[in-house]
Structure 1
Amino acid sequence: MRFMIIVKATKDSEEGVMPTEKLLAEMASYHEELQKAGMLVDASGLQPSAKGWRIRYQGDKRSVVDGPFAETKELIAGYTLIQAESREEAIEWTRRFPNPTIDGAACEIEVRQLFELEDFAPGEAIERFRELDVCFEKRPQDASTL
């Protein structure tokens, strides 16, 4: 089972304020532990929404809307993808996730389970995804596989 740990954006992250050395060290330690446990799939921080855009759909038409985006609570500042044997194991690891705010303020992270190809009914489209050999259900065995 794969899970995405979603770090929500804050006013600081949207203003481009970089994390402190202390926070970076805590995050590095946590991610090193995940890697040693063979659970780390991917992790990254995101640039502020001012450097991003959204694609707005209206039927077949698409339009580009440039950032920044006003509602910080709807934005994400980073993510970590983990591979766990169970929901309980994922909860155990996410409870250890360092407080992602610069000043240790109250905040929350969100955790969502990713779909696996086996969650969908068999069909031609699912087989096409299998042939892409994307990250579905791949669990790193050691640091050299990342």
Structure 2
Amino acid sequence: MPRFLTLVRVDENNVPEEGFSPEMGERMGALLKEITEAGVMLETAGLAPTSEGRRVTWSGGKLSYTDGPFTEATEVVGGYSIIQAKDMAEAVEWANRFLKVHDDAWTVTCEVRQITEMTDEG
């Protein structure tokens, strides 16, 4: 069964100050329990803010480093999941359900991409 990476994108400047409401936390917990028990969820986590990150770039034969926050970014990856689904349609349906547990004050985007399996050419 194919695996999919879901990148959860948020605007760090517009995350509600109060964070998750208790009701949203309950809805999220219920969904995570359901998707895990269904054998779909393989891994998930949130990410620290970009202010704590570092970008490493290879260009022109040299490495360069940029410490966060990354002010030019309007939307950043705030979390991810790796799920196993029968096809893209099922993966997107799980992403839809994840988005719908958020309170109306949130603006969240999920990018769903199939993971290509590496082959060992020996």
Gaps of 5+ in 2: none
- Partner of residue 54, structure 2: 53
Change (3 A) 1:65 1:44: same
- Partner of residue 38, structure 2: 37
Residue by residue over 1:53-108, the C-alpha shift from the partner in whole angstroms, topping out at 9 and shown as x without a partner, is 100212332121100011122x1111111011222221232221134755444543
When the two structures are superposed, what TM-score results if normalisation uses the length of structure 1? 0.69
- Partner of residue 72, structure 1: 74
C-alpha contact 2:99 2:108 (8 A) present in aligned 1: no
Q: CA deviation at 1:16?
A: 7.8
- Once residues 9 and 58 of structure 1 are traced to their aligned partners in structure 2, the CA distance between those partners, rounded to angstroms, is 28
- Once residues 10 and 106 of structure 2 are traced to their aligned partners in structure 1, the CA distance between those partners, rounded to angstroms, is 13
- Partner of residue 141, structure 1: none
The 3-state SS of whatever aligns with 1:123 is coil
Change (3 A) 1:100 1:92: closer
C-alpha contact 1:4 1:114 (8 A) present in aligned 2: yes
C-alpha contact 1:53 1:65 (8 A) present in aligned 2: yes
Change (3 A) 1:34 1:109: same
- Once residues 17 and 65 of structure 1 are traced to their aligned partners in structure 2, the CA distance between those partners, rounded to angstroms, is 29
C-alpha contact 2:10 2:107 (8 A) present in aligned 1: no
- Once residues 107 and 42 of structure 1 are traced to their aligned partners in structure 2, the CA distance between those partners, rounded to angstroms, is 19
The 3-state SS of whatever aligns with 2:97 is coil
Q: Which amino acid aligns with 1:35?
A: T
Change (3 A) 1:3 1:31: same
Change (3 A) 1:36 1:101: closer
The alignment of Structure 1 onto Structure 2 pairs a total of residues equal to 119
Gaps of 5+ in 1: 125-146
Superposed counterparts of 1:1-146, under 5 Å: 1-10=2-11, 11-13=13-15, 18-70=19-71, 71-73=73-75, 75-99=76-100, 103-117=104-118, 120=119, 122-124=120-122
Change (3 A) 1:31 1:95: same
